[in-house]
Amino acid sequence: MNSLGLAKNMYFLGIGGVGMSGLAGWCHAHKHNVGGYDHNDNTFTLKLKKSGIRIQHDVSTSKIPSDFLNNEDTYIIYTPAIKKDHILYRFFNDANFTILKRSELLQRISLAYKVVAISGTHGKTTISIMLSHLLKNAGLSPSAFFGGMSLNYDSNFLIGNSDYMIIEADEYDQSFLHLKPVISLITSIDRDHIDTYPSVEAMMESYYHFYVNTQDMLFITRHVSKKFHDYLKDHGNGSSSIRELSDLDCKDSYVKSIKNMCEHNIENAIMATAIAKYIGLSDLQIQTGFQNYRGVKRRFEYHVVSKDLILIDDYAHHPEELKVLINSIRKRYLNRELFLIFQPHLFSRTQDLENEFCDILSSVDKLALLDIFPAREKPIAGVSSKILLSKINLHHKWHVNFTSILDLLKVEKPSLIVTAGAGDIYKLVPVIKSILA
């Protein structure tokens, strides 16, 4: 065991997930012997392999490297996407290995740091990466874990030498309740993750305990202030202070003038700025940091900008995120028709928020809908993209796959294309560029 109480060997089941790959990379950088399994390669597994981490894609237990087979000095880390009937999970469980959820490993790592936890239904990744960049640019050198890739550092984690750690605090499976932050932020509280939170009350209760776990200061936005304060009146306050971000926090004009930053990212920048100032950064340090801030992969990411074609890729997968994305694009491109290619994410989310999806998807000019990306879920009877599409009030709409969408785009020749979703829709972007740009 090392000083954090972590085993020498760390084997990750589902190592290709964004959260898991960041933890695996962090452990490898801290001289742990790291390996893992995922069913196929992606951007994250390829980066891990390049760093020297061994990853198997076969579920055969005979493929597990021998140095991970001693249960006394090996931890098994798993993601919620790995079910307990998975062959490799059952193998390690039957052999009495110490098995930790991803959030439990993050908890153990975070105990050595002053944690700044960024939570909420929307905006977590962008704000976490913005704040980390501001601190790093100012010389504070934080460690960090992100739910996406920073374009400045081409990474979903940072290794720092200060006692600050910025963590994107995931509400799914109540993972964020494993943290004991010094400073926290709640960006928004919208209905999501129905399998974890069957009711609004259940979600509010979880965020309340997140607040109780915060030791010094909780920042909240105007999007959550009323509903959160109402909940506090009924359940009592925690020990930390609460600061609501208001219009006064929008006075930093240099944030609004950042080149190519869309409206909702300006709001994210204001939140990151407020926390950076609370930590102690000066206006000049923050301004300098934003001047060389490059953004987040798949968050309003431009791939083509020309007079004939604008191509933007975004991670939006919740109706509220789609609403913000579409509104930002409408304000920026007043004279172009919006052609949205959307890949719904999770059967449960599509089912529970069907009316909201129908409303917002009816607001674009043309819509191409891919099949639902299942992620960790099995299909739900009566829930599909075809059924969702039939309920969307739009004249120009199509159900497509990865092949037929390309044929459709050749015919339609749109001048403004947005790809959106949390699944593998990003794989379409280079192909679209090759045929239209």
CATH 3.40.50.720 domain locations along the chain: 9-106
Summarize pLDDT for 121-136 with one digit per residue, the tens. Answer: 888 999 999 999 999 9
CB 2 within 8 Å of CB 73:
no
**What whole-number distance in Å separates Cα of residue 182 and Cα of residue 165?**
10
Residue 147: CB partners within 8 Å, gap ≥ 6?
A: 18, 19, 124, 125, 128, 156, 168, 170
**What whole-number distance in Å separates Cα of residue 20 and Cα of residue 346?**
19
Residue type, 328: S
What tokens were used for 84?
Answer: 């307990």
CATH 3.40.1190.10 domain locations along the chain: 113-291
Residue 256 has pLDDT above 80, yes or no: no
In CATH, the number for domain 9-106 is 3.40.50.720
- The domain defined by 113-291 carries CATH number 3.40.1190.10: yes
- pTM of structure: 0.85
- CATH H-level superfamily of 301-436: Mur ligase, C-terminal domain (3.90.190.20)
CATH 3.90.190.20 domain locations along the chain: 301-436
Taking Cα atoms as reference points, which of 9, 22, 104, 27 lies closest to residue 64?
9
CB 340 within 8 Å of CB 396:
no
Cα dist from 151 to 128, 311, 317, 323, 370, whole Å: 13, 18, 21, 24, 27
Summarize pLDDT for 153-180 with one digit per residue, the tens. Answer: 999 999 999 999 999 998 888 889 999 9
Summarize pLDDT for 397-410 with one digit per residue, the tens. Answer: 999 999 999 999 99
